[in-house]
Structure 1
Amino acid sequence: MSEATQTAGGVVPPAVEGIRLAKAFGGVQAVDSATFSARPGEVHALVGENGAGKSTLIKLLGGRLRPDAGEVRAAGRKVELHGADDAHALGIWTVFQELTLLPWMTVAENLLIRREPRGRLGLIDRDRMVGEADRVLTWLGIDHIDPRALIEDLSLAQRQMVEIARVIIQDPSTLLLDEPTSSLGEKEVAWLFELIQGLRADGKCIIFTSHRWNEITSIADRITIFRNGAEVGTFTEIDEDRAVTLMTGRQLEAFYPQPPARAHDRAVLEVEELAGEGLRNASLTLHASEILGVGGLAGHGHRELFFSLFGAQAHSGRIVVDGRPARIRSPRDAARLGMALVPEDRKTEGLLLPLSVRANLTLAVLPAVSSLGLIGGARERGLAQGMVDALKIRTPGLGNPVRQLSGGNQQKVLLGRWLLADSRILLLYDVTRGVDVATKHEIYELMMRLAGEGRALLYYSSDAEELAHLCHRVLVMREGRIAAELSAPGITAEDIVTAAVRESRAAD
């Protein structure tokens, strides 16, 4: 039934609706007779676990997918969306979690694609294009991105801002935002929310998905919860505990598990005076059975630290692994030393999206599943299935492309790859970014189990609360160096933020 809004000017129909929508992929029912509507002039949050059907619903409303059953309505009228262009003609635009920018083109070229300024002979006027792009960025309050820069040279957060800007300049009446903040820092989130508030004030409809509850409650007028492909309720107010129960169908007892007691005081990774792009003589020691957190404000060398340790970035300094000096010049060198990196951008830096779940899981152990250069199917399937079962990876089958999995399950595949390789030193870089609350809890529990087995975890998170609750110690970085060291028990998120924003004593 259509949900209209009564105003002084009369009855206003919903900006966009999905009525009893259904969509299946193979044997997986992604959306199951789901009904959803959003009004003009509101921010409507859509929340649920990874795999609950949120992204599929957004693709149905935005014309990227066609429903198997049900109907889509815009401004109260049934519409047939045969593609994104049909949705665009109705003023419905989408910003996807998976970036759609062309990395080998400039910011200006991406912003003005299909609407480039042209000269008399129909050729693109490059100077005018840069000027127009610069005016767009300035209008949107983006003053730190050069319109001449290549997309591939931008940070993940900057790319996401360009993606958002490219849609905003289309003046959408309905804006679908699929986890737009998952790669943004605090400053960028504040920028986006100011933008959203302006759009809402102009009467636009914004549909917003996020796994960060504080973001949802700070920006949303209404919240619809999805579970197993269908809506379970729409609320103007709901507390997080109740929402988690509705999302998962169960209660999570203690959201942050207690870190295990350190069984060893043996140093497995020692770093002295590590320097390079973004790093200024960073030093640290990581012990067996330890979860060592790394925090601080975004852009202060965290990513460079992790990528240098894994041999993916040039560096100088001394690295000692298990008491022996190590020369790490490539990820292969690091992997041979029992090190593993799980990066923040699993889609472009971790997984091979067209390949199967099985192939992605066993990528680091191919010698163990091969003989005479041929992969043994039974052995590979056995190892992959064992990890799928152990990590509770939701997939239709081992042969399905990993791109078909939800974000949380993709993250589990990446973690499972390195667990199959029996890596002893795990470099976990923002591994819960863009992951639903239940999967986060499963990852937390896995971290505790791995530390209890004697593995060493170096763990960066953009969430200070995670660091405070999950780590034995937290190193706070400022300007590429270790500025402070905090030890549990008693670490708070406020301690981490305070150490990040002011000069602190250097860690020993």
Structure 2
Amino acid sequence: MSEYILEMKNISKRFGGIHALNDVSLHLRRGEVLCLCGENGAGKSTLMKILAGIQQPSEGQIYIDGQPVRIRKPIDSIYYGVSMVQQELIQIEEMTVAENIFVGRYKTKGGFVEEGRINREAKALMDELGIYFDPKSLLKHYSIAQRQLIEILKALSYHASIIVFDEPTAALTIEETEKLYKIIRKLKEDKMAIIMISHRMEDIYAVGDRIQVLKDGCDSGGGLVSEMTVDDIVQLMVGRKMTQQFPEKTNHSGEVILKAENLSNERVHKVSFELHKGEILGIGGLVGAGRTELLRLLLGIDPGEGSLQMNGKPVEINSPRDGVHKGIAFLPEDRKDQGLILEQSILQNTILSILERLSKWGFMNTRKEKNVCKEYIEKLRIRCAGSQMAVKMLSGGNQQKVVLGRCLASHPDILLLDEPTRGVDVGAKAEIYKIINDLATAGLSIIVVSSEMTELLGISDRILVMHEGYLSGELMRGEATEENIMHMAISHDQTAKA
């Protein structure tokens, strides 16, 4: 038996004249968790798509258990014991949990699906991993995090010996992430071989055995997790030492620009706070605490009660259009579904919020369009082939910068950022943090919702913590720690709710 269950040797992939992968090799042992890291666009997903049979290599060879194999299509990879849990879930909401797990492989009798059998087999998989859902319940009733666990059950249903996880914790809460870690550790004990693509250092140190880093389509290096520091990993990813992930604070808080009093709806309960000019106000709390809902109330996306003052004057914001006209811009949590039109160009996405300003008598001013787009490509250092490049072709970090450029094009006074670095690599995160700091230094008032403690602590001047829709507490920069943020996030003085 070969020492390695998987070897990918000298893999190259060209798209026209672009080298997405250049002579990359990878090996994997049974019972090992290999963390595949790298900036957005480094080639990680391309390499795994080749393993999954979604794409074909231009050069190179794959070996399973020491034997050369040809994986021409996804069914071939399943035949050879490879299963992949995609970051972008491909599921059918109107079908049951069991039907989603065994989609395309239903057991039939007399031409009819044996529902009882697939329900029993789904339950057996759940018992094996300690994950419990009603196999007969519809998928649409479950959260994204729960669907991620159902997708893992589907991967295991193929009786795979190699499982690839693509950013598995991106949509999970802290508790659900811990559950996933336990599942990965159990799979490892069962001698399953695992490749995990992740930007999160917490994932790497929680379950990883070995790291391999890609940069610009090439193998940048790696080693044992136990022997590598965060700085070592970051240097391999970005090609330089990152001495300071968060920029030195240069902004200063001024007068109150926004005052919210008793903001309420079904998910938010009597929240009051102030935002100062040039301030970065962080909002922490667990998933479901009402943080995103609070931002949606501020922008007028969702109806609610309460009052707002801007610059000391009462304002009413009943729709996103009202919000934009009052000088509020919003970067949503889900950039692909809510922030971008992926098929359209960088230019078309950038000017979405200022179409009225760039048009006259119903005609767009193309010169102004190009100038606005060029301005934000340069200001935000968006790496692209030009303003007409389709947004779907950009890396995650550059897509996020396009959304930010669209927000800034409306010249807001207040910027709402919901998970601004989700799914973005370490190098791009540092760039976004510097942009946020520079905007605040220039006088922009910013509210940041983030599930990453280090991010909240690193960029915020002041932090509000929410719990079950209520404001649980407030911390100034000097007094905020992970421990007291978490304490406020998981509990709240019940008398304050009355």
TM-score normalised to structure 1 length: 0.90
Write out aligned runs for 1:157-168 (5 A): 157-168=145-156
**Which of 435, 441, 455 does residue 466 from structure 1 map onto?**
455
Aligned twin of 2:389: 400
Aligned twin of 1:481: 470
Aligned twin of 1:8: none
* Alignment deviations for residues 92-136 of structure 1 (CA, whole Å, 9 cap, x no partner): 11112222223454544423322345564x344667766765665
Aligned equivalents of 2:176, 2:334: Cα separation in 1: 17
SS of the residue corresponding to residue 179 of structure 2 reads helix
What's the offset of the Cα at 1:450?
Answer: 1.0
**Which of 271, 295, 301 does residue 282 from structure 1 map onto?**
271
One-letter code of the match for 1:87? S
**Which of 315, 319, 326 does residue 326 from structure 1 map onto?**
315
**Which of 243, 261, 279 does residue 253 from structure 1 map onto?**
243
Write out aligned runs for 1:107-146 (5 A): 107-116=97-106, 118=108, 120=110, 122-124=111-113, 133=122, 136-137=125-126, 139-143=128-132
Aligned equivalents of 1:105, 1:68: Cα separation in 2: 38
1:297 and 2:301 aligned: no
Aligned twin of 1:391: 380
Write out aligned runs for 1:45-84 (5 A): 45-84=35-74
One-letter code of the match for 1:310? L
1:220/1:336 CA distance change after superposition, 3 Å: same
* Alignment deviations for residues 69-97 of structure 1 (CA, whole Å, 9 cap, x no partner): 22222222222222211111111111122
- Alignment check: 8 A CA contact 1:16 1:61 kept: no
1:103/1:35 CA distance change after superposition, 3 Å: same
Aligned twin of 1:272: 261
What's the offset of the Cα at 1:420?
Answer: 1.6
Write out aligned runs for 1:203-282 (5 A): 203-236=191-224, 237-268=227-258, 270-282=259-271
- Alignment check: 8 A CA contact 1:48 1:54 kept: yes
- Alignment check: 8 A CA contact 2:43 2:217 kept: yes
1:300/1:132 CA distance change after superposition, 3 Å: farther
- Alignment check: 8 A CA contact 1:27 1:396 kept: no
* Alignment deviations for residues 136-164 of structure 1 (CA, whole Å, 9 cap, x no partner): 5565434478852443x543323323333
Aligned twin of 2:179: 191
1:506/1:421 CA distance change after superposition, 3 Å: same
Runs of 5+ in structure 2 lacking a partner?
Answer: none
What's the offset of the Cα at 1:320?
Answer: 2.9
1:356 and 2:359 aligned: no
* Alignment deviations for residues 182-218 of structure 1 (CA, whole Å, 9 cap, x no partner): 1111111111111111111111110001111122022
Identity among equivalent positions (%) equals 37
Aligned equivalents of 1:422, 1:450: Cα separation in 2: 11
Deviates more, 1:156-165 or 1:460-469: 156-165
SS of the residue corresponding to residue 413 of structure 1 reads helix
Aligned equivalents of 1:17, 1:375: Cα separation in 2: 54
1:311 and 2:300 aligned: yes
Runs of 5+ in structure 1 lacking a partner?
Answer: 1-10
One-letter code of the match for 2:388? G
1:280/1:332 CA distance change after superposition, 3 Å: same
- Alignment check: 8 A CA contact 1:50 1:406 kept: yes
- Alignment check: 8 A CA contact 2:251 2:442 kept: no
Aligned equivalents of 2:107, 2:482: Cα separation in 1: 48
* Alignment deviations for residues 426-458 of structure 1 (CA, whole Å, 9 cap, x no partner): 111111112111111111111111111111111
Deviates more, 1:193-202 or 1:331-340: 331-340
- Alignment check: 8 A CA contact 2:13 2:59 kept: yes
What's the offset of the Cα at 1:44?
Answer: 0.3
Deviates more, 1:76-85 or 1:130-139: 130-139
SS of the residue corresponding to residue 489 of structure 1 reads helix
Aligned equivalents of 2:132, 2:318: Cα separation in 1: 36
SS of the residue corresponding to residue 377 of structure 2 reads helix
SS of the residue corresponding to residue 83 of structure 2 reads strand
1:132/1:265 CA distance change after superposition, 3 Å: farther
Aligned length: 494
- Alignment check: 8 A CA contact 1:42 1:206 kept: yes
What's the offset of the Cα at 1:241?
Answer: 0.8
1:456/1:71 CA distance change after superposition, 3 Å: same
One-letter code of the match for 1:258? E
- Alignment check: 8 A CA contact 1:258 1:470 kept: no
Deviates more, 1:77-86 or 1:172-181: 77-86
Q: CA RMSD in A?
A: 2.5
1:21 and 2:15 aligned: no
SS of the residue corresponding to residue 340 of structure 2 reads coil
Deviates more, 1:15-24 or 1:179-188: 15-24
- Alignment check: 8 A CA contact 1:430 1:459 kept: yes
One-letter code of the match for 1:434? G
* Alignment deviations for residues 203-257 of structure 1 (CA, whole Å, 9 cap, x no partner): 1110001111122022111101111111121301211112211211112232222
1:12 and 2:11 aligned: no
One-letter code of the match for 2:479? G
SS of the residue corresponding to residue 12 of structure 1 reads coil
What's the offset of the Cα at 1:324?
Answer: 3.6
One-letter code of the match for 1:223? I
- Alignment check: 8 A CA contact 1:292 1:475 kept: yes
One-letter code of the match for 2:408? L
Aligned equivalents of 2:4, 2:350: Cα separation in 1: 44
1:177/1:380 CA distance change after superposition, 3 Å: same
Aligned equivalents of 1:147, 1:328: Cα separation in 2: 43
Deviates more, 1:190-199 or 1:333-342: 333-342
Aligned equivalents of 2:490, 2:199: Cα separation in 1: 26
Aligned equivalents of 1:125, 1:373: Cα separation in 2: 59
SS of the residue corresponding to residue 300 of structure 1 reads coil
1:125/1:324 CA distance change after superposition, 3 Å: farther
Aligned twin of 2:23: 33
SS of the residue corresponding to residue 147 of structure 2 reads helix
SS of the residue corresponding to residue 397 of structure 2 reads helix
Deviates more, 1:131-140 or 1:235-244: 131-140
Aligned equivalents of 1:502, 1:66: Cα separation in 2: 51
1:500 and 2:489 aligned: yes
